[in-house]
A and B are shown apart, each in its own frame.
Chain A
Amino acid sequence: MSDRGFRRLYAAVIAELALTILTFYLFTRIFQ
């Protein structure tokens, strides 16, 4: 995999984490 490909993958991992945190936040709010 090229360096550019890896940079995109790193960004994808961080983006997924951000999306997960947002999902957890909505999950907590909806079901509290």
Chain B
Amino acid sequence: MSRLDWVVLIVTLLLIVAYGVWKGRRQQRLAAYLLADRQLKWPTIALSIMATQASAITFLSTPGQAYADGMRFVQFYLGLPIAMVILAITAVPIYHRLRVFTAYEYLETRFGVGTRTLAAILFLAQRGVSTGITLYAPVLIVSVLLGWNLHVTSVVIGVLVIIYTAAGGTKAVSWTQVHQLLIALGGMAIALIIAVRMLPHGVGLLEAARVAGRMGRLNAIDFSFDLTTPYNFWSGLFGGLLVALSYFGTDQSQVQRYLTGASETESKLGLLMNGMIKVPMQFFILFVGAIVFVFYQFIAPPLFFNNVERAKVQSSAYAAQYAQLEAQHQKTFAAKREEVHALVDAMRAHDAAATARATERVRALQNEEKATRAAAVSLIRKSNAAADASDTNYIFLTFVVQTLPAGLVGLLLAAIFCAAMSATSSGLNSLASTTVVDVVKRLLWRDATDHQYVLASKWLTVFWGLFAIGFAEFASRLGSLIEAVNILGSLFYGTILGIFLLAFYTKRIGGTAVCLGAILGEAAVAWCAIYTNVAWLWWNVVGLVVGVVAAGAIQAITPTEDLKPISSSTR
């Protein structure tokens, strides 16, 4: 990295921190610190919701996903707009009417303190660990590619987040997220422009899109119904709807974003705008990855993008075999580059027959390249069984570091760290809120002043920040980090969603039944995770179904349980 890159990176990050501290100054009341005094307008809410979901992994991993697998991942978000409409109609009016600080507080008005505490603890366990991974994952990728010290980097980024999140609370988090998201998206737009400009003479954006499409990278929609493929229209619409309902309706890191709305209307508009912008935004990020893929049809990509794992195999007993694969990879790439040029020429000449022939040859060479890569991955695994055998997360950053001019590398790194900081700050903010409101204020220290609760919130933000940084030490042994985040969420999301569905849509099931049902649901998930080979995505369904059915059955055999009125506030 050049000196200019360092200046851009450091100045951007420090400006964000200073802005957050300034924006969130002088907040003495808990409603001001945790809910920005319920004064935010819908544009801020919408961008804050989007920035919370769009962590650095989104900006690093999604383009890599398009590079490796095409754009079909975009279908995962198709259920999201429908979820936003459902939540605007059902959840937002309830949360606003009760003027709750956390989603779990609502559960007490419906089912009693036990269910509230259980849901809050499940959230703290899941979000505490996943915030650690949110912070750690981009730091790991950047450290590997740039040779930075992993521990120092995670401490520096973690401390920067803690400073403005603890000092400024939710107002600082929401306002910095607006700028962080704009910087991150601006960085992606710059990367797209540079990728197109670096293409050979005569290959513009349209030709690049045509090449990407011919090579199977613009597969944005697939209507085939297949339970074994992870991303198609049906799984995206229905599975995505369930995930989005759970995440945006019950996860405090998201609920807190729209509880800051100046009115119910502002909160609803914020959610609905997220529903309108999110899918096109993901499409754009994936499209950047598809164009980076085309760029690497003309400039030789490394055989394996993770240079640390590459170096390990190159210094192992398998070095000679790996060198052979490298040579094969270069040979295949050179032949493929010629054919891609032929394909572009044929398409420009509108010669259908020549286009079809060139496409066939390119695809054959693409399969050869794929086989060589698979052999390389196999060697890496043989050389080190604990190796990270997926290099998807490293593709986009490799492109940035290798091709962008001085200054822009720093800006893109700033964009990635901004995304990491924005998602982490939401996580810390929601963890502190839930700990203070649902545990400290409700169970442990009920007669403190507002100012004391604000102080407790600040110190708890620091505590959860240090927990996230400390988690980095453990995370290095988790393997694939994105998968780890999803696996972790799947341990709890089904059960929590079940509790909220019963709260929103039933009137006859009481708190004890819901609480016992949730414990049984969680036990079923734990049993699946420990004793069976059931894939982790199904744990969500198991937790939801077992929790809801068990609660219904328990209520049916104990019909005398009293129900608390939905309008009573126990805060």
Contacts and interface: CB of A to CB of B under 8 A. Distances in A.
B74 interface: yes
Classify the secondary structure of A's interface with B.
helix
B272 interface: yes
B218 A9 contact: no
B209 A9 contact: no
B269 A30 contact: no
Contacts of A9: 269, 272
B81 A31 contact: no
A21 B221 contact: yes
Contact of A28 (B81, B214, B221): B221
B354 to A, nearest CB: 18
B221 A25 contact: yes
A20 to B, nearest CB: 5
A3 B279 CA distance: 26
Contact of B280 (A20, A21, A25): A20
A17 to B, nearest CB: 4
Most chain B CB atoms below 10 A, which of A1, A20, A25: A20
Given A21-B233, A24-B74, A31-B209, A13 B276 contact: yes
Interface residues of B, number: 30
Contacts of A14: 81-82, 85
A7 to B, nearest CB: 10
A14 B89 CA distance: 14
B317 to A, nearest CB: 43
B221 A1 contact: no
B213 A30 contact: yes
Contacts of B272: 9-10, 13
B491 interface: no
A28 B85 contact: no
Classify the secondary structure of B's interface with A.
helix
A12 B210 CA distance: 31
A10 B213 contact: no
A13 B173 CA distance: 27
A14 B487 CA distance: 30
Nearest to A31: B213
A13 B84 contact: yes
Given A1-B269, A24-B221, A17 B88 contact: no
A13 B85 contact: yes
Contacts of A1: 265, 268-269
A6 B264 CA distance: 11
B398 interface: no
A31 B218 contact: yes
Contacts of A6: 88, 268
Nearest to B236: A21
A25 B219 CA distance: 9
A10 B213 CA distance: 33
B220 A24 contact: yes
Interface string B259-273: 000000100110010
A27 B212 CA distance: 12
B275 interface: yes
A13 B218 contact: no
Interface string B69-97: 00000100010011011001100000000
B233 A17 contact: no
A16 to B, nearest CB: 6
Contacts of B218: 27-28, 31-32
Contacts of A17: 78, 81-82, 275, 279
A13 B270 CA distance: 12
A9 B89 CA distance: 11
A21 B220 CA distance: 9
A9 B221 CA distance: 25
Contact of A32 (B82, B213, B233, B283): B213
Nearest to B74: A24
A28 B279 contact: no
A24 B72 CA distance: 10
A31 B210 contact: yes
A31 B209 CA distance: 7
Contacts of B221: 21, 24-25, 27-28
Contacts of B210: 31
B364 to A, nearest CB: 17
Interface in B35-80: 74, 78
Contact of B81 (A13, A25, A27, A30): A13
Nearest to B212: A31
Contacts of A32: 213-214, 216, 218-219
Contacts of B265: 1
A20 B210 CA distance: 20
24 contacts: A1-B269, A6-B88, A10-B272, A12-B276, A14-B82, A16-B276, A17-B78, A17-B81, A20-B279, A20-B280, A24-B220, A24-B221, A25-B220, A25-B221, A28-B213, A28-B218, A28-B219, A28-B221, A30-B213, A31-B209, A31-B210, A31-B213, A31-B218, A32-B216
Closest A-B pairs by Cβ, 3 of them: A31-B213, A24-B220, A24-B221
Interface of A: 1, 6, 9-10, 12-14, 16-17, 20-21, 24-25, 27-28, 30-32
Given A10-B89, A13-B84, A31-B210, 15 more contacts: A1-B265, A6-B268, A13-B85, A14-B81, A16-B276, A17-B78, A20-B279, A20-B280, A24-B74, A24-B221, A27-B220, A28-B220, A31-B212, A31-B214, A32-B214
